[in-house]
Amino acid sequence: MQDFNFLNIESFNKYQRFLYGHDILFKNLTSLFKKNKLPKKIIFNGSDGIGKATFVYHLINFILSYKEEDIYDLNTKEIIENNKSYLDLINNINFNFKHLKVDDFKKIISIEETREIINFFNKSSINNKPKIFFLEGAENLNKNSSNSILKILEELPDNNYFFISYLENKFLLETIKSRCFNCRLFINSKENSFIKEKLMTQFKTNNTIIKNLTPGINLKMNILFKELNIYEKDFSTKILTMQNFYLEEKYNKIIDLMHIYIENYFVSNLEKNFFKNFRIRNKINNIINNINSINNEIKSSFYEINLLLGIK
């Protein structure tokens, strides 16, 4: 696997040859495919960092490499390194697969982008293999693009699969959900710890397990802290460093991770001065939720957050 820094860690899912956890769901879906009974339209939902995209990419690699010589290893849930479908996919030359994800700098999937899906399904399959489109982050669809997705779902051609992922507790049209087979990805606390340890070993990060975080978010936080050299720094220094990094890069995922880190801090300390902390937490949530609509006031938003946190 190639080296990743924080700004490109979001793309590592398609390179990830190992799937940790989710054994039963993966076994059931691959079994359905082998029996030619896998639903053609599937929605995968779950918490941020639970492994939705990695799970979907593994299912895609299994489907596209089925009956090939270097087939996917179901026992270890590992993509064989020299698997042709996998190599074509990571090099963006697998013409039976296409992926669409929200731009992390604009946070919306537009109607123009959904037209790529229509164009993809209108083209013929290569070697009579299934065609698969993966729409990642469907919570970022707007009204027009949501309606476009509905139309695609209603007219999906034969031997085509449409996989969609979205964050649970985020909005997605009920009419889209009703047209798809829904899979919720979930891991228990034992699996959570196991997957965190596997990822930290694989990516050679500092073995810091941050309580209450999903494996993917824990990994991203570790990589971010490593890149910014703030592993051993205190809470205030970490927040200020993340804010400065955002002001330099204007990368929305930094805001998301800062928000998660603050939320985790309050969850860990909520029993102390419960009502005071509850009020502060709500105020900070409101400020962060409004940041994207007031980008020109980002510094003043950070200033307000820091005042509420007692950071000077």
What is the CATH code for 6-184?
3.40.50.300
Distance, in Å, from the CA atom of 125 to the CA atom of 94, rounded to the nearest integer, reads 11
Q: How far apart are the first and last CA of the chain?
A: 41
Question: Domain extents for the chain?
Answer: 6-184, 189-309
Output b/e per residue, 189-224; b: 16+ Cβ within 10 A.
eebbeebbeebbeebebeeeebeebbbbbbbbbbbb
> What is the structure's pLDDT at 239?
95
Q: Provide mean pLDDT across the span 146-150.
A: 90
Confidence category of residue 1, pLDDT binned at 50, 70, 90: very low
| DSSP assignment letter at 40 | S
> What is the structure's pLDDT at 272?
62
Q: Is 118 helix (H, G, I), strand (E, B) or coil?
A: helix
Distance, in Å, from the CA atom of 292 to the CA atom of 146, rounded to the nearest integer, reads 21
| DSSP assignment letter at 214 | -
Q: In terms of pLDDT, which residue wins out, 183 or 256?
A: 183
pLDDT digits (tens, 9 = 90+) for 56-113: 999 999 998 887 766 788 888 988 888 888 888 888 888 899 998 876 556 677 788 8
pLDDT score of 40 more than 60: yes
pLDDT digits (tens, 9 = 90+) for 191-226: 999 999 999 888 887 777 777 899 999 999 888 898
Q: How many degrees, rounded to 5, is the angle at CA 103 between CA 13 and CA 297?
A: 125
Can you state the angle between helices 235-249 and 298-309, rounded to 10 degrees? Answer: 180
pLDDT score of 295 more than 60: no
Distance, in Å, from the CA atom of 209 to the CA atom of 203, rounded to the nearest integer, reads 14
Residue labelled with tokens 């693009």? 145
Q: Tell me the average pLDDT of the chain.
A: 86
Distance, in Å, from the CA atom of 179 to the CA atom of 39, rounded to the nearest integer, reads 11
Q: pTM of the entire structure? A: 0.87
pLDDT score of 267 more than 80: no
Q: Provide mean pLDDT across the span 301-312.
A: 91
CB 130: neighbour CB atoms within 10 A?
18
Distance, in Å, from the CA atom of 95 to the CA atom of 206, rounded to the nearest integer, reads 38
pLDDT score of 294 more than 60: no
pLDDT score of 51 more than 80: yes
Backbone angles phi, psi at 133, to 5 degrees: -115, 135
Long-range contacts of 176-179 (CB under 8 A, 24+ apart): 176/43, 176/138, 176/146, 176/149, 176/150, 177/43, 179/41, 179/150, 179/153, 179/154
Distances (CA, A) of 92 to 61, 62, 87, 196: 13, 17, 9, 29
Confidence category of residue 289, pLDDT binned at 50, 70, 90: confident
pLDDT score of 2 more than 70: no
Half-sphere exposure at residue 274, Cβ-oriented, CA atoms within 13 angstroms:
1
Q: Provide mean pLDDT across the span 157-165.
A: 93
